[in-house]
Amino acid sequence: MRKPIMAGNWKMHKTIAESVDFVSKVKSNVSDVKDCEIVVCPVFTALKSVADAAKGTNVCIGAQNMHWEEKGAFTGEISPKMLLDAGCKYVIIGHSERRQYFGETNETVNKKMLSAFKHGLVPIVCIGETLAEREKNITFDVVGKQVKEGLAGLTGNQSSEVVIAYEPVWAIGTGKTASPAQAQEVHEFVRKTFTEMYGKDAAAKVRILYGGSVKPDNVSELMKQPDIDGGLVGGAALEVDSYTKLIKFQR
Ligand code: PEP
């Protein structure tokens, strides 16, 4: 049985004070939740304060990006060791906004994913097709390549611990959610591809999150799909009430 994850990607939102206030409210709302992993991903400057505020609770912290090197002359970058030091357990890798605006490729995604594991972080690796790719009927080609290249080289334990987030680019921040059937079709394909790479046991354990306009009113239908193991959520994870509802989605 795979434990669902409800991860909130705050993108470039919230000051330190706003982030701490948010997590203080959420942690008391969800203190009784045991059947869902809760992950908030604030901006870098708020990581340590949010991690301190969440210490000893069931709320985990994730970062939104990292460099693959441990240290060095990489102005403006942050390393996995620094994220760990700030209190992170997870790190989002290869979000479509990073691929689109900051030149992230399957190759850099792979380097970052392997480095995250090497330093004790759990990577949440994002994949997903654009609208043009879906309309050209090449969704499976694009997503298959992202999985084969981006998720290559994992060892035994890593292949069941890695988290994958399928996020169709056309559904992110647009209010257009993939239908539960559309999402399930791709999730099933991703698990099949992962089975070819790492075998049945790892594929049965790996958690595949859906992202793209997940809201309290569509989360339950999405979560009923057999291959959807949680959500990576932007907009609806920025408000305490809606994020709480997502975490406590109707089983
Ligand atoms: C995201 O940021 O990964 C995302 C899916 O955003 P939204 O939920 O706002 O579509």
Tell me the CA–centroid distance for residue 70 and ligand 1, in Å: 28
Tell me the CA–centroid distance for residue 232 and ligand 1, in Å: 7
pLDDT score of 194: 98
Domain around 212: 5-247
> How would you write the pLDDT of the chain (251 residues) with one tens digit per residue?
899 999 999 999 999 999 999 999 999 999 999 999 999 999 999 999 999 999 999 999 999 999 999 999 999 999 999 999 999 999 999 999 999 999 999 999 999 999 999 999 999 999 999 999 999 999 999 999 999 999 999 998 999 999 999 999 999 988 888 999 999 999 999 999 999 999 999 999 999 999 999 999 999 999 999 999 999 999 999 999 999 999 998 77
Helix (H) or strand (E) holding 123: strand 122-127
- Give which of 110, 112, 42, 120 is closest to 85, Cα–Cα: 120
Q: Which residues pair with 90 in a beta bridge?
A: 62, 122
Of ligand 1's listed atoms, the one at least distance from the Cα of 213 is: 10
Tell me the CA–centroid distance for residue 235 and ligand 1, in Å: 6
- Give which of 63, 31, 59 is closest to 47, Cα–Cα: 63
Contact 247, 6 (CB under 8 A): yes
pLDDT score of 176: 86
pTM of the model: 0.97
**Residue whose CB lies within 8 A of the most ligand 1 atoms, among 65, 213, 228, 239, for a mutation test:** 213
Does the Cβ of 231 fall within 6 Å of ligand 1? Answer: no
pLDDT score of 1: 83
Q: How many domains does the chain have?
A: 1
Does the Cβ of 214 fall within 6 Å of ligand 1? Answer: yes
Tell me the CA–centroid distance for residue 58 and ligand 1, in Å: 22
pLDDT score of 202: 98
Does the Cβ of 234 fall within 6 Å of ligand 1? Answer: yes
pLDDT score of 175: 86
- Using alpha carbons, list the distances in angstroms from residue 83 to 92, 127, 226, 233, 234: 12, 22, 33, 21, 21
Does the Cβ of 87 fall within 6 Å of ligand 1? Answer: no
Does the Cβ of 128 fall within 6 Å of ligand 1? Answer: no
Residues 6+ apart with CB under 8 A from 73: none
- Give which of 192, 189, 203 is closest to 154, Cα–Cα: 203
Annotated catalytic residues are: 95, 167
Does the Cβ of 209 fall within 6 Å of ligand 1? Answer: no
CATH classification at residue 198: 3.20.20.70
Give me the phi and psi of 209, to 5 degrees please: -90, 155
Tell me the CA–centroid distance for residue 94 and ligand 1, in Å: 13
